[in-house]
C-alpha cells in the first residue's frame, strides 16, 4: 500500500532504500548491480533461465530491454541536447513495444522490429516522456508535461523526502515528545494523492514514522498523527501536522512474525511433509528466457517495472487441428487503487495507486522457494533501471510451476450396464509474482488450464496499515457499531479500506478484430395457455457497438455473460469463436464520484469496460499517475465512445476487495484471495480435453521421506 523506507536518524546520512539498489548489493565490473540473496531458505537451488543477463540479446519483439540496450539508452540520453547540462532523473525506462501488427507478423528467424525504449524522466520538476530509438541511436519523440500527474517515485525521491523530514526541527521535537528513540525510528513515504489546488503543481509526498523498537514489524507501531508534507523538488517541508497527542505508540508484543522469533509451535498437530512431486521433471519448457510452452499453451512472459508481470501472445492449440490460436495479445494488472476510509488529517490522502506511484515490479522481492512457489518452479529475474539510468537485477521475482491440487477436470459415472467411472485429474500451469508494496503483499497468479480457461487470481497478505488510538479495548469505544476501523490489538485500529486491481486484457480471439457481446439473461413470461410454467429465462445476445454500451456494473439480479468473440471466425455450427470473462467474488467502489481519489480512480467506476485498442492506453489511471487529476483514465478514454464492434478491442476487468480488518489480521494477514476467469465459449468445436489421460498408479512417482 505504501512504500516505507528506513530513516535511521542516528546515522544521519545512511538512508537504506529498500525498493531500490541497496548498500549491501555489490556492483560488478560491468557497472551492473546484482542484489545479494540472503536468508537460508533462499539458498535452495532453483531452476533459472540459462541466460547471462549481462550479455543477452533480445530474441523476441516483446522481450524486455537488455543490459546492453539500457546502457545504450543511457548513452543516447547523455548526449541528447536538452539534457546536456544536467542528466535527468530516470523514473521509468522500458521497452517501447513495437506496433501490434509488427509483432503479429514477426516469426522466429525474422529480424526483430526496431528496438525502442520509452523513458520517463524528471528534470527541474518537469516531466518528459521520450522515445529512444536504439536502431537510430536517437531520441525520436519528446513530450514535456503531458498531463497533470508525475511519474513513479524513485529511490532518490524517497531519500530526499526522508532527509528533508529528518532535518526538520519541529519533526525532531515531535519524535522526542512521543518518546521514540531516533535509532528506533522508521519512516515511510505514503503517496500524497491529489486534493485540489493546495498541493498541486509540485511533487509533494507525505512522511510518517514508526517505531522499530522490539520488532521488525514496525507497521504495527505507528507514531500516529505526525505527518510531514514534503516538496521533493524544492526540498522543503510544506506542512507539518501532529494530531497524535495522547495516542501512545502501540507496544511490540506479539508483532514479530519471523519464524526464527517464534518461541513455541502453533497449537495444532504437526503436518507431515507434503509436496507436489514431478520426478520426471515439469512438463513446461521456457524457451529463450520468455516463451513458456506447456501442454496446449504458449505465451510470452516478462517482468515489468510497473506491471510486475506481463503475459503476451497467449495462444492455445486447436483441439482438432493442433494449430496455435490467438487468445490474448496482452494481459497484465494495469493499476491498483487502494483508498482508506478515514477522513482525518493524517489519513485522508491514503488512496494509493501502487502501480503508477511505485511499480509492482520494483516492489517485488525475491520469491521464497518451497514456500512462495512449490518445488520444480522456474524463476525469472527482473532487470530494472535505477534513477541514474543504470540497470540492476531483482532476482527470482516471477515463478512458473505446474499445479496439481487434487481437483477434477471432468468426470462422469454411470452405475448401469455401461459401468462407467471416468474422471480426469486437473493439472494447470501457474505464473506467479508477489509484490511487497510497503506493508501489503500482493500475490498475482495467472493460471492456465488445458481446457482453455485462464484464471487470474489476486492474493492479499502482509501487514495492515494501522492507526494508533488511545483505546485499548472496545469497551472504551463510544460508537462501536459505526466505525471506519475496528480495534485489532491494544491501541491499534485496522482502518477499513478497499483494494481494486484493474486488469488490461487485450483479448485477440483468433485475430485482432473482435466484438463484445453481452448475453443477458432475461425473464420471459409465458403467454396464457402456452405452458404450465409462468416464466423462464432467455439469453439475449447484443454486440456492443460503442464504448458506452460496454460499461458494466455487475448485478446479481440482472445477470449476463460477457463474451469477446470473433464475428468472422465461426465454429462448424456457426457460433462465433469466443471467450467469456467470468467474475468471481467482487466489490465495487462506493466513494463519491466527485471525491478526488475516485476521480483519479475512475477506472473502478465499472467492473467491466471495453475500449477500442490504442497502444497508448495501457495504464488505467493514466501514464503519469502520481498526483494526477484523473484526466487520463480509462473512464476518460471510454467516454470518447469509439466504435468497438468488430474492432481491435481491449477488455478491462476490475477485481475489488472490501477489507474490514479483524484481530486475525494482526500482526500479519492470512492470505485473502479472489479471482476471475477467462473461459472459451464456442472457441473449441467440443470439449478440448475429452481425450485427456487419467492418472494410473503405475505412472505416479515413488517417494521416500527425506530422512528415511
Residues in 320-339 that interact with a copy of itself by CB under 8 A = 320-322, 339
Q: How far apart are CA 156 and CA 297, in angstroms?
A: 42
Q: How far apart are CA 77 and CA 89, in angstroms?
A: 11
Is 378 one of the annotated active-site residues of the chain?
no
Using CB under 8 A, which of 349, 448, 619, 653 touches a copy of itself?
349
Using CB under 8 A, which of 406, 478, 528, 616 touches a copy of itself?
406
**Which span sits near a copy of itself by CB under 8 A: 50-58, 154-162, 507-515, 693-701?**
693-701
Q: Which of 354, 451, 498, 635 is catalytic?
A: 354
CB atoms inside a 10 Å sphere around CB 575: 14
**Count of chain residues binding a copy of itself (CB under 8 A):** 219
Task: Give strand pairing partners of 206.
Answer: 229
Cα separation of the two ends of the chain: 45
Verify binding: residue 425, a copy of itself, rule CB under 8 A: yes
**Least distance in Å: CB of 649 to a copy of itself?**
19
CB 399 within 8 A of CB 432: yes
Q: How far apart are CA 443 and CA 436, in angstroms?
A: 9
In terms of phi and psi (left: phi > 0; alpha: psi -120 to 50; beta: otherwise), the region of 376 is: left
Q: Footprint of a copy of itself on residues 208-227 (CB under 8 A)?
A: 216
User: What cell was used for 54?
Assistant: 549481462
Using CB under 8 A, which of 124, 169, 475, 528 touches a copy of itself?
475
Rounded to 10°, the helix 169-177/155-166 angle is: 70
Q: How far apart are CA 389 and CA 77, in angstroms?
A: 9
Verify binding: residue 374, a copy of itself, rule CB under 8 A: yes
Q: How far apart are CA 236 and CA 323, in angstroms?
A: 61
Using CB under 8 A, which of 50, 84, 535, 616 touches a copy of itself?
535
Is 219 one of the annotated active-site residues of the chain?
no
Q: Which is nearer to a copy of itself, 81 or 706 (CB)?
A: 706
CB 120 within 8 A of CB 88: no
User: What cell was used for 47?
Assistant: 531452476
CB 302 within 8 A of CB 312: yes
CB 347 within 8 A of CB 367: no
**Which span sits near a copy of itself by CB under 8 A: 18-26, 96-104, 233-241, 621-629?**
18-26
Using CB under 8 A, which of 129, 152, 328, 434 touches a copy of itself?
434
Nearest to 654 by CA among 553, 507, 546: 553
3-state DSSP call for residue 600? helix
Q: Which of 329, 378, 379, 440 is catalytic?
A: 440
Verify binding: residue 107, a copy of itself, rule CB under 8 A: no
Q: Footprint of a copy of itself on residues 438-457 (CB under 8 A)?
A: 441, 443, 449-453
**Which span sits near a copy of itself by CB under 8 A: 52-60, 113-121, 147-155, 428-436?**
428-436
Q: How far apart are CA 655 and CA 672, in angstroms?
A: 13
Q: Footprint of a copy of itself on residues 130-189 (CB under 8 A)?
A: none
Element (H, E) at 570: strand 560-570
**Least distance in Å: CB of 622 to a copy of itself?**
20
**Which span sits near a copy of itself by CB under 8 A: 70-78, 303-311, 594-602, 635-643?**
594-602
Using CB under 8 A, which of 29, 85, 124, 699 touches a copy of itself?
699
Verify binding: residue 233, a copy of itself, rule CB under 8 A: no
Using CB under 8 A, which of 171, 299, 401, 503 touches a copy of itself?
401
**Least distance in Å: CB of 85 to a copy of itself?**
34
Q: Which is nearer to a copy of itself, 66 or 604 (CB)?
A: 604
Using CB under 8 A, which of 483, 513, 567, 646 touches a copy of itself?
483
Verify binding: residue 433, a copy of itself, rule CB under 8 A: no
Using CB under 8 A, which of 167, 423, 614, 615 touches a copy of itself?
423
CB 332 within 8 A of CB 338: no
Q: Which residues contact 352 (CB under 8 A, 6 or more apart)?
A: 1, 2, 190, 191, 336, 337, 338, 339, 437
Q: Footprint of a copy of itself on residues 553-592 (CB under 8 A)?
A: 553-557, 559, 561, 570-575, 582-588, 590-592
Q: Footprint of a copy of itself on residues 75-104 (CB under 8 A)?
A: none
Indicate which residues carry an active-site annotation. Answer: 354, 440
Amino acid at each position: 500500500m505504501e512504500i516505507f523506507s528506513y530513516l535511521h536518524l542516528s546515522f544521519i546520512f545512511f538512508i537504506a532504500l529498500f525498493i531500490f539498489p541497496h548498500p549491501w548489493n555489490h556492483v560488478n565490473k560491468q557497472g551492473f548491480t546484482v542484489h545479494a540473496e540472503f536468508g537460508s531458505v533462499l539458498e535452495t537451488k532453483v531452476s533459472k533461465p540459462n541466460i547471462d543477463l549481462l550479455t543477452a540479446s533480445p530474441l523476441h519483439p516483446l522481450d524486455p530491454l537488455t543490459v546492453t540496450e539500457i546502457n545504450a539508452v543511457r548513452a543516447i540520453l547523455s548526449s541528447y541536447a536538452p539534457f546536456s547540462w544536467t542528466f535527468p532523473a530516470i523514473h521509468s525506462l522500458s521497452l517501447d513495444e513495437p506496433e501490434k501488427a509488427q509483432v503479429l507478423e514477426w516469426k522466429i528467424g525474422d529480424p526483430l522490429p526496431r528496438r525502442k525504449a520509452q523513458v520517463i524522466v524528471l528534470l527541474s520538476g518537469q516531466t518528459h516522456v521520450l522515445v529512444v530509438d536504439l536502431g537510430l541511436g536517437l531520441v525520436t519523440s519528446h513530450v514535456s508535461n503531458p498531463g497533470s500527474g508525475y511519474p513513479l517515485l524513485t529511490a532518490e525521491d524517497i531519500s530526499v523526502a526522508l532527509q528533508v523530514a529528518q532535518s526538520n526541527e519541529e519533526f525532531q521535537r515531535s519524535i522526542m515528545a512521543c518518546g521514540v528513540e531516533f535509532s528506533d525510528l522508521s519512516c515511510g513515504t505514503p503517496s500524497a494523492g491529489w486534493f485540489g489546488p493546495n498541493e498541486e503543481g509540485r511533487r509533494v509526498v507525505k512522511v510518517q514514522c514508526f517505531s522499530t523498537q522490539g520488532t521488525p514489524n514496525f507497521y504495527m507501531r505507528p507514531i500516529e498523527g505526525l505527518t510531514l508534507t514534503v516538496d521533493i523538488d524544492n526540498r522543503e517541508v510544506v506542512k507539518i501536522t501532529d494530531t497524535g497527542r495522547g495516542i501512545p505508540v502501540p507496544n511490540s508484543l506479539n508483532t514479530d512474525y519471523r519464524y526464527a522469533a517464534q518461541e513455541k509451535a502453533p497449537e495444532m498437530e504437526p503436518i507431515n511433509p507434503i509436496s507436489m512431486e514431478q520426478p520426471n521433471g515439469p512438463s513446461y519448457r521456457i524457451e529463450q528466457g520468455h516463451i513458456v510452452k506447456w501442454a496446449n499453451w504458449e505465451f510470452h512472459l516478462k517482468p515489468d517495472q510497473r506491471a510486475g508481470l506481463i503475459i503476451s501472445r497467449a495462444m492455445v492449440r486447436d483441439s482438432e487441428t493442433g494449430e496455435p490460436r490467438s487468445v490474448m495479445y496482452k494481459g497484465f494488472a494495469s493499476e491498483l487503487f487502494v483508498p482508506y476510509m478515514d477522513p482525518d488529517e493524517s489519513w485522508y490522502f491514503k488512496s494509493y495507486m501502487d502501480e503508477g506511484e511505485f511499480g509492482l515490479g520494483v516492489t517485488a522481492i525475491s520469491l521464497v522457494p518451497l514456500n512462495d512457489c512449490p518445488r520444480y518452479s522456474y524463476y525469472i529475474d527482473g532487470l530494472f533501471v535505477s534513477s541514474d539510468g543504470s540497470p540492476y537485477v531483482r532476482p527470482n521475482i516471477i515463478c512458473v510451476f505446474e499445479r496439481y491440487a487434487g481437483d477434477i477436470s471432468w468426470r462422469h459415472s454411470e452405475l448401469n450396464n455401461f459401468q462407467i467411472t471416468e474422471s480426469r485429474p486437473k493439472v494447470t500451469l501457474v505464473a506467479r509474482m508477489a509484490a511487497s508494496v510497503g506493508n501489503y503483499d500482493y500475490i498475482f497468479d495467472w493460471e492456465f488450464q488445458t481446457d482453455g480457461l485462464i484464471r487470474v487470481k489476486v492474493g492479499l497478505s502482509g501487514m495492515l496499515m494501522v492507526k494508533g488510538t488511545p483505546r485499548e479495548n472496545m469497551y472504551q469505544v463510544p460508537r462501536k457499531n459505526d466505525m471506519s476501523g475496528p480495534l485489532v490489538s491494544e491501541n491499534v485500529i485496522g482502518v477499513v479500506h478497499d483494494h481494486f486491481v484493474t486488469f488490461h486484457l487485450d483479448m485477440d480471439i483468433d485475430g485482432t478484430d473482435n466484438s463484445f457481446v453481452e448475453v443477458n439473461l432475461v425473464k420471459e413470461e409465458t403467454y396464457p395457455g402456452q405452458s404450465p410454467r409462468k416464466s423462464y429465462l432467455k439469453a439475449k445476445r447484443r454486440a456492443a457497438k460503442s464504448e458506452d454500451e460496454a460499461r458494466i456494473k455487475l448485478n446479481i439480479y440482472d445477470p449476463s455473460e460477457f463474451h469477446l468473440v470473433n464475428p468472422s471466425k465461426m465454429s462448424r455450427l456457426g457460433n462465433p469463436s469466443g471467450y467469456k470473462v467470468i467474475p468471481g467474488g467482487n466489490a465495487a467502489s462506493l466513494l463519491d464520484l466527485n471525491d478526488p481519489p475516485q476521480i483519479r480512480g475512475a477506472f473502478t467506476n465499472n467492473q467491466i469496460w471495453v475500449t477500442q485498442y490504442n497502444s497508448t492506453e495501457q495504464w488505467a489511471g493514466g501514464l503519469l499517475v502520481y498526483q494526477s487529476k484523473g484526466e487520463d483514465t480509462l473512464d476518460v478514454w471510454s467516454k470518447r465512445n469509439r466504435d468497438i464492434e468488430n474492432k481491435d478491442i481491449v477488455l478491462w476487468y476490475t477485481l475489488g476487495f472490501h477489507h474490514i480488518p479483524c484481530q486475525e489480521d494482526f500482526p500479519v494477514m492470512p492470505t485473502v484471495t479472489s479471482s476471475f476467469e477467462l473461459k472459451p465459449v464456442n472457441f473449441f468445436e467440443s470439449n478440448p480435453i475429452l481425450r485427456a489421460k487419467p492418472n494410473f498408479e503405475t505412472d505416479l512417482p515413488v517417494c521416500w521421506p527425506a530422512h528415511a
